[in-house]
Amino acid sequence: YETVRIRKDGSPIELSLTISPIRDAQGKIIGASKIARDITEKRRAEEALRASAAREQAKAMALQIIMDTVPAAVFIAQDPDCRTVTANRAGYEILRLPFGANTSKTAEPDEIPKHFRICKDGVEIPLQELPVQRAARGEEIRDYEEKIVFEDGSSRDLFGNAVPLLDEEGRAQGSVAAFVDI
């Protein structure tokens, strides 16, 4: 079990105690052995990790609120192949997808949204030439126009930018794009 004891100097020490019976030849308990391990630093590290995780969670929630407030559709790919692309509220609304769905046209086959096509000048854009995918390869896409064409024949004209998300060495590791419905 774990307990907190007080050192001679008055400071607390957290201990993990293991107590085992000592038996004689007939199995009668004649004593006990105790192993005490100082887990004070381990507990401090665990608490620091919990606090750090809570701070990061709060930042993520604040960022999600900010992103959902933006009137532009924002798409984020966190991998260079754009297998998973998430969006803010406006992005999901424009694509007519439920919140949290994968918006990527280069996702695994069973995850690809199939109810719309992305076109430019009346022609469907090849998957690897989509702005999010190009940006994930390191290219900045500025002032880009595209049309989302839905199965029912309706469409949305979009205008926006896509830029790479870079790692510490400056390599593209994904991308972020923002489009407005024009």
> Is the separation of the CB atoms in 173 and 167 below 8 Å?
yes
pTM: 0.68
The pLDDT tens digits for 33-66 are: 999 999 989 999 999 999 999 998 888 888 777 7
Tokens of 76: 């984020």
**Low-confidence residues of the chain: pLDDT under 70:** none
DSSP class of residue 145 equals: E
**Cα 74 versus chain centre, distance:** 15
